[in-house]
Structure 1
Amino acid sequence: MDLKLKGKTVLITGASQGIGEGLARAFAEEGCNLHIVARSGDRLNALKSELEAEHGVAVTAHALDLTEPRAIEQLVTAAGDVDILVNNAGVVPSGSLWDVDEAKWRAGWELKVFGYINLTRAIYPRMKANGGGVIINNIGNGGEVFDPAYVAGTTGNASLMAFTRAMGGHSLDDNIRVVGVNPGPVDTDRIYNMLKKRAADWLGDAGRYEELQQRYPLKRPAHVHEITDLIVFLASFRSGYTSGSIFTVDGGITSRRSVI
């Protein structure tokens, strides 16, 4: 299936590892030129060299902390015109209302929740002026499963779901599509860290985290490509009538009403 993405310019935040790195690889395979953003310059530069050598695309690495003052303005100026924005950066800490104090809560939301909102605010007018584009928010199924042990995350993700629907409901008037993806557990370091914390809390031994993994559909988290392939498709013209929608990819976990 030809997605006709070759030559498109894609900006991906949180691109140094996990789903973000997987997205950079997937879009590069489609022939897209990339702007990749994360705090870790070393990881970004290594990924840049690899993708340019393998796929012959142009990759620009932006080693930035998007929570810093003027960082988003700096990024948007440096990146210039982009066709596709994938908001992906940020991890909100897990824990109960009493585990996550105000400082940790605000720090988690500053990058993920406000980072998505502020980068969209900055990019959207440029896309509109250039005739259109696509904004995809990688959110998380915590916004659908209201887990008190992930209270800051579930609240933040639910906010981003509402933001995505609010923006995407009318964005096609400007030839811009705004779409959300809600992954469940994915085979990255983040999910194993969470499982170990839950195993310590529930079973008294972080080393028993694999027992919790057995509760997942297929007894495993999603492969990274099972998330990134969908996002690449949603970014393409073949999904051209899709906006204001959120796609959950969690093997049915949300329908079970449990994050584990």
Structure 2
Amino acid sequence: MDMKLAGRRVLITGASQGIGEGLARSFAAEGCRLALTARSADRLGALAAELHAAHGVHVDVLALDMTRPGAIEEIVAFAGDADVLVNNAGAIPGGTLWDVDEARWRQGWELKVFGYINLTRALYPLMKARGGGVILNNIGNGGQNFDFNYIAGSTGNAALMAFTCALGGRSLEDGIRVVGVNPGPVGTERIVKVMKNHAARLLGDEARADELLAAYPLGRTATVEEVADLFVYLASPRSSYTSGTIVTVDGGITSKRSVA
């Protein structure tokens, strides 16, 4: 199916690994022009070369730490003409209220929560002036499944869900769609570390992480491609009536809760 995205300029933050890298691959396969940001210049450069060779698309890269002063302005100068913004950078630390001190809590929110908000604030008026655009927020189903052991992440993700819905409820008046995606566990390097930590805590041995995976739908995590392809559809004109909502892709984990 043609997603009608060829030639569109797509800005992806946190694009050097994990879901961000998968997003870059999926949008490149649709013929999009990419603007990729992340901390690692080496990873970005290698990915850009690979995508250009495979798909013939133009790929610009900007290596920076989004939490440092002036970073948002640099990104706007780099890709303020983006038709699609995918907010993806950041991982909020796990742990209980007493495990995550104020400094680590603020550090996690500075990149993921305020990073999403501040970049959206900067790019939205530029999209509006050009007649429209799409803003997609990669959030996570922790915002729907309140977790004592992931309290900073659950709280931050819930805030981003509210932000997405509040903005996206009015944004079509400006020709802009704002949509959130809540992946559940996805097969990335990060989830491997998370599952090992869970196995060590719950089973006393991080090598037993595969036993925890067996409890997930289909006995596995989602693939990066399954999540990235959803973003491509939501960014496309084929999803032009979608705004102010959250799409959860977790194999039914969020809906499986039961009182019995």
Structure 1 letter corresponding to 2:155: T
CA distance in 1, matches of 2:112, 2:235: 20
Could you say which residue in structure 1 is the equivalent of 2:173?
A: 173
- CA distance in 2 between partners of 1:203 and 1:96 (Å): 18
Distance in 2 separating the partners of 1:213 and 1:190: 14
Residue 2 in structure 1 maps to residue 7 in structure 2: no
2:25 corresponds in structure 1 to 25
Q: Which residue of 2 aligns with 1:97?
A: 97
In 1: Cα distance, 2:20 partner to 2:178 partner: 18
Aligned pairs for 1:68-217 (under 5 A) are 68-217=68-217
Q: Residue 211 of structure 1 aligns to which amino acid in structure 2?
A: E
For 1:89, the aligned partner's letter is A
Written as runs of structure 1 = structure 2, the 5 A alignment for 1:17-56 is: 17-56=17-56
State the number of aligned residues.
258
Q: 1:55-106 CA deviation, whole Å, 9 max, x = no partner?
A: 1111001101000000010110122311000000000011111111111100
Q: CA deviation at 1:225?
A: 1.0
Counterpart CA distance in 2 for 1:158 and 1:66 is 21
Q: CA deviation at 1:182?
A: 0.2
Q: Distance in 2 between matches of 1:34 and 1:235?
A: 14
Q: Percent identity?
A: 69
Residue 252 (structure 2) pairs with residue 252 (structure 1):
yes
Distance 2:210 2:26 in 1: 29
1:234 equivalent in structure 2? 234
1:152-204 Cα offsets, whole Å, 9 max, x none, are 00000000000000000000000000000000000101111111111111111
Alpha-carbon distance, 1:257 to partner: 3.8
User: Which whole-Å CA distance do the structure 2 matches of 1:19 and 1:90 have between them?
Assistant: 11
Alpha-carbon separation, structure 1, partners of 2:254 and 2:4: 33
CA shift for structure 1 position 256: 2.5
| Residues in 1 aligned to 2:46 and 2:36: alpha-carbon distance in whole angstroms | 11
Whole-angstrom CA distance in 1 between matches of 2:179 and 2:246: 6
Is the CA contact (8 Å cut-off) linking 2:91 and 2:112 kept in structure 1? yes
Q: 1:145–1:257: 8 Å Cα contact kept in structure 2?
A: no
Q: Secondary structure at the match of 2:185?
A: coil
Whole-Å separation in 1 of the counterparts to 2:227 and 2:221? 11
Q: TM-score, normalised by structure 2?
A: 0.98
Q: Is the contact between residue 177 and residue 243 of structure 2 (CA under 8 Å) also seen in structure 1?
A: yes
- Counterparts of 2:36 and 2:15, CA distance in 1: 6
Q: How far is the alpha carbon of 1:28 from its aligned partner?
A: 0.5
Mapped contact 2:92–2:112 kept (Cα < 8 A): yes
CA distance in 2 between partners of 1:26 and 1:203 (Å): 37
- Verify the 8 A CA contact 2:80 2:123 in the aligned structure 1: no
Contact preservation (8 Å) 2:12, 2:86: yes
- Cα contact 2:37–2:62 (8 A) shared by 1: yes
Query: What RMSD, in angstroms, separates the aligned Cα atoms of the two structures?
Result: 0.9
Partner amino acid, structure 1, of 2:176: I
Please give the alpha-carbon distance, in whole angstroms, between the structure 1 residues aligned to 2:96 and 2:196.
16
TM normalised by structure 1 equals 0.98
CA distance in 2, matches of 1:151, 1:190: 18
| SS of residue in 2 equivalent to 1:238 | helix
Hey, what's the Cα distance between the residues in 1 that align with 2:103 and 2:201?
22
